[in-house]
Chain A
Amino acid sequence: MTDFFKLHFFIPLGIVLALIIIPYVGYMANQQLVLGVVIPYLAVLIFLEGLIYRVIKWARSPVPFRIPTTCAQNRSLPWIKKSIGEKLDNPETTLQVIGRMALEVLFFRSLFRNLTTKLRRPADHPEDAKLYYWSYKWLWLGAIAFHYTFLIVLLRHLRFFTETTPGFVQTIEHVDGWFQIFQPTVYLTGIILLAALTYLLLRRVYNPNMRYISLASDYFPLFLIMAIGTTGILMRYFFKVDITAVKQLALGLVTFKPTVPAGIGVIFYIHLFLVSVLFMYFPFSKLLHMAGVFLSPTRNLANNNRWVRHINPWNYPVKFHPYIEHENKYRQAMKEVGLPVEKE
């Protein structure tokens, strides 16, 4: 275990544990108003402002060159036909770019390409070293599972923020809860979410190269979201809280008439506090990849340089070697071998 790993693994772990203790202490000190109203408002404020600030900051830097990564045939002679897949992997038009981005954002297209590389070097024939490449979809699967279950869990929570639960939320709950063995209904997404997070954490810890590159900012969100998921599950199935009171609090928040109903258990305040921390942390962390992917110049531009000129706003004149200097340098020799010249 390197010092580097210890620093980047255990400190975020400690911080997340501390983040669990803080609301506990606050609850004991009867700070429900701070925990249930002030901090959530603050979190949403920081989240929105931070997000806008960061996106504007990125957008203020221009895109001087059109540099899409081309993952398929480009527009060519009319008889070289491209399939739809090829059009989306090397887009020529805005519509195709939208398609490429949709695939990237909704289905993690690039990650779906993932391969694993293995070097096999037989001990008795070391000269026969061979490289093998396999399609490796586990990372893609883990990422998809995590992101989508997280989204569904988030949407399920809309039930708390609306007077009457919207139809689509009910549908989600219905599908999510088809596995009705226990009472209350077990939502699969919560379990898949934790499983996916565990996978993402374990690969960081167990793969030596992943461990080597991982920073506190990689472990912290994993621990934090795991803590959020765990407290949520604990609250739903084990340490039940007064759901009506929670809904009252949530509705108060969204209608800007905040109230703090009595009788909500501490586990709720821990859950809410961790979520608030996630919201506040989001705009200043790698989690911002959610917004950043839309701005990525290798993905969100059409590969149309050859027929549409791209303008660089800061293009400036440069010193180059003009033809006449070339001729001045070699004129005599050029004339001798019969190369045409501008000045005799």
Chain B
Amino acid sequence: MAKIPTPEELSNISFQPPAKGWMDTKPEFKEGCYCNAASPKWLEWLDYPYPRNWSVRDEDWKLPANWKEILLEGFDERLGRFRTLKLFMDICVRCGACADKCQFFIGSGDPKNMPVLRAELMRSIYRRYFTTAGKVLGKLAGARPLTEDVIKEWYYYLYQCSECRRCSVFCPYGIDMADLTILGRELLSSIGLNIEWTMASVGSCYETVGHIGATPQAYKDMIDFFAEENERVTGVYTNVTYNRKGAEILFIVPSGDYFADPGTFNYMGYLLLFEYLGLDYTISTYAAEGGNFGYFMSHEMGKRLNAKFYEEAKRLGVKWILGGECGHMWRVCNQYMSTWNGPADFLEEPVSPITGTKFENAKNHKMVHISEFTADLIKHGKLKLDPSRNAHIKLTYHDSCNPSRAMGLFEEPRYIIRNVVPEGNFIEMPSNTIREKTFCCGSGSGFNGDEYLEMRFRGGFPRANAVRYVRDKYGVNHLACICAIDRAVFPPLLDYWVPGMDVIGISEMVGNALVFPNEIERTTDLRDRPLVGCEEAEEEEGGEIE
């Protein structure tokens, strides 16, 4: 793996563009800043075109002989299918309002990471082949011929956009780079260019239980283990049923919540909450992946993976679906699911069996967010919570890109936080870095690969910088979030930029605070860390703790 520069070196960012014009500047595939090529195996699994062994660093990417026709035909087809594409190709005035809004530009200083110029990489091709001015005037009209170098540039920069939509908040015409990135990546896929991390996740998710390629039995094992862990910490065994027909609710979470810390603690939190409520729910070994990396490859692949949700809900005969804490899963479920795979008329309008609240806002796609569900419970006084059990957690809250800018989920998680931690323990980051202006973790849209670490640290720099601000000023020691990619990628990012920060899900804190009538004396949180006031007791026991 590439040596990662120190934070000191990495923050030495120049915002001076190169002396040569951008059309004459080729991307430099620097170790740590590009995603590896997908291996042919995954493409074969998924019937993706042109599976082959190739490497980004090779001069020859072994493109199919007629790659240019394929790509231009695909472009043309998409212009006819997506008004967004057609419009966003035409109306940009290059005002530059988006430029310093992108965390990848802020973190790298590379002008092609200004959303406006990233889009121009595609627009220049559009102009050359689909507009008269571009055909006639060429470069003067901002057009350029499609070459392999252009393709390499697309590959490099369309995988330095995490589809976070921050630029589209500031664009006076609402030009959404995320939409262009998705379509650009689709075009790259059409000539056999895909990235390994995403394709491996998609392939595994398609055929097995989730991104990590677990088997149903291994999956069950992991969840059962959380139930035992819950019993060990709280004295309450959290019953889980799998693939149970006739359950009222199907619960779907991203796999990040069951295969790696600190997501696993969040899963323990979900289970505790449901046990507390006696909720009639089940989880599926088939629709076991909430995350949808297919959406990072193409609209079609997103749909193919998402199909499992409604299929399984129908097969099990549940009434509605409850979704865990995940970012892009909720963009998909909010903006695409019912259009792709609906109508979900075999499900019922979600109603909380505990409070009787009708989730009228979800009556079409029939899916409720765990934060809405929990906030409603707290509001109705259905949970006995002891915030002092989270007293060791002084936190700030990271609005994940997708629930923020592709849904508008801001208040529910904040309401829960205020109810599960002691007053004064929740500190917001500066207002220009949260809510709709939130920054990406730097690893969204399939960038979790380790080969990409330097660029992840660059993209995550603005977020980490804001976290550091509240750490230094208020002594914040936790970053809370409702996204599984966040929980997977923030620990290394914050270790790098802001050492000493822990990452935590909202449901984990709910699990910590829930007071069960039959619980044992709680001395630790779900991570076996001593609660405030119990530190000494822990030490006396001789501490096998961490």
Chain A residues at the B interface, C-beta cutoff of 8 Å: 2-5, 7-8, 11, 54, 57-67, 69-77, 79-80, 89-90, 104, 108, 110-111, 113-117, 119, 121, 126-127, 129-131, 133, 139, 143, 203, 207-210, 212-218, 284, 286, 288-289, 292-293, 295-299, 303, 305-312, 314-315, 318-323, 326-327, 329-330, 333-334, 336-337, 339-340
User: When the two chains form their complex, are residues B242 and A340 in contact, meaning their CB atoms are under 8 A apart?
Assistant: yes
B interface, over-half SS: helix
Instruction: Give the 5 A-B residue pairs with the shortest CB-CB distance, closest first.
Output: A4-B21, A74-B408, A129-B11, A292-B91, A298-B174
Enumerate chain B residues within 8 angstroms of A298, measured Cβ to Cβ.
Answer: 84, 168, 174-176, 179
User: When the two chains form their complex, are residues A292 and B170 in contact, meaning their CB atoms are under 8 A apart?
Assistant: no
Q: How far is the CA of A80 from the CA of B11 in the complex (A)?
A: 40
Q: How far is the CA of A72 from the CA of B79 in the complex (A)?
A: 30
Chain B interface: which size bin? 35 or more
**A64 smallest CB distance to B (angstroms):** 6
Choose one: A77, A89, A309; the contact of B364 (CB below 8 Å): A309
Interface check B92, CB cutoff 8 A: yes
Name which residue of chain A comes closest to B224, CB basis. Answer: A337
Q: State whether A305 and B338 are in contact (beta carbons under 8 Å apart), knowing that A77-B357, A296-B173, A340-B243 are contacts in the complex.
A: yes
29 contacts between A and B (CB under 8 A): A3-B21, A54-B90, A61-B82, A63-B82, A65-B299, A66-B339, A70-B436, A73-B409, A90-B408, A111-B172, A113-B170, A129-B12, A213-B111, A213-B116, A213-B117, A286-B94, A295-B87, A297-B83, A297-B84, A298-B84, A305-B335, A305-B365, A307-B362, A309-B343, A320-B308, A323-B312, A327-B286, A336-B217, A340-B243
**A85 smallest CB distance to B (angstroms):** 12
Q: How far is the CA of A74 from the CA of B80 in the complex (A)?
A: 31
**Which chain B residues numbered 149 to 200 have a C-beta less than 8 Å away from chain A?**
165, 168-176, 179
User: When the two chains form their complex, are residues A58 and B83 in contact, meaning their CB atoms are under 8 A apart?
Assistant: yes
Choose one: B101, B133, B176; the contact of A115 (CB below 8 Å): B101
Q: How far is the CA of A60 from the CA of B82 in the complex (A)?
A: 10
Choose one: B11, B140, B303; the contact of A318 (CB below 8 Å): B303
User: When the two chains form their complex, are residues A126 and B8 in contact, meaning their CB atoms are under 8 A apart?
Assistant: yes
Enumerate chain A residues within 8 angstroms of B13, measured Cβ to Cβ.
Answer: 119
User: When the two chains form their complex, are residues A73 and B408 in contact, meaning their CB atoms are under 8 A apart?
Assistant: yes
Enumerate chain B residues within 8 angstroms of A143, measured Cβ to Cβ.
Answer: 95, 172
User: When the two chains form their complex, are residues B432 and A110 in contact, meaning their CB atoms are under 8 A apart?
Assistant: no
Name which residue of chain B comes closest to A316, CB basis. Answer: B300
User: When the two chains form their complex, are residues B106 and A307 in contact, meaning their CB atoms are under 8 A apart?
Assistant: no
Interface check B477, CB cutoff 8 A: no
Q: How far is the CA of A305 from the CA of B406 in the complex (A)?
A: 11
Enumerate chain B residues within 8 angstroms of A62, measured Cβ to Cβ.
Answer: 81-83
User: When the two chains form their complex, are residues A307 and B364 in contact, meaning their CB atoms are under 8 A apart?
Assistant: yes
Interface check B340, CB cutoff 8 A: yes
Q: How far is the CA of A213 from the CA of B23 in the complex (A)?
A: 10
User: When the two chains form their complex, are residues B243 and A339 in contact, meaning their CB atoms are under 8 A apart?
Assistant: yes
Segment from B30-38, B64-72, B371-379, B443-451 that makes contact with A = B371-379
User: When the two chains form their complex, are residues B21 and A74 in contact, meaning their CB atoms are under 8 A apart?
Assistant: no
Interface check B56, CB cutoff 8 A: no
Q: How far is the CA of A74 from the CA of B242 in the complex (A)?
A: 32
Interface check B50, CB cutoff 8 A: no
Q: State whether A213 and B216 are in contact (beta carbons under 8 Å apart), knowing that A119-B11, A218-B94, A323-B311 are contacts in the complex.
A: no
